[in-house]
Amino acid sequence: MSVGGPEPERHSKAGPCHLTEEGHTRLATVQAAVYAIELRMVKAIPPQRMAVLLADLDRIAAALEE
């Protein structure tokens, strides 16, 4: 199991939990894979288009907050 912690009481909100050592290892592995994919995606964007893309992404994120 990757997440540990006390068993929550039935019919109540979940109590605090923490990642086990295995959970931390899995998280680090997945984060590294995600970062590698993000780097490949960013490298595919021509530098002269990056500013426009970032501005567009800011507008998209703002629209989602409305």
| Per-residue pLDDT of the chain in tens (66 residues, 90 and over written 9) | 566 666 655 666 777 889 999 999 999 999 999 999 999 999 999 999 999 999 999 999 999 998
Count of all residues that appear for the chain in the document = 66
Q: Which residues contact 26 (CB under 8 A, 6 or more apart)?
A: 2
List the domain boundaries for the chain.
Answer: 3-65
Residue 28 to residue 55: CA distance in whole angstroms? 30
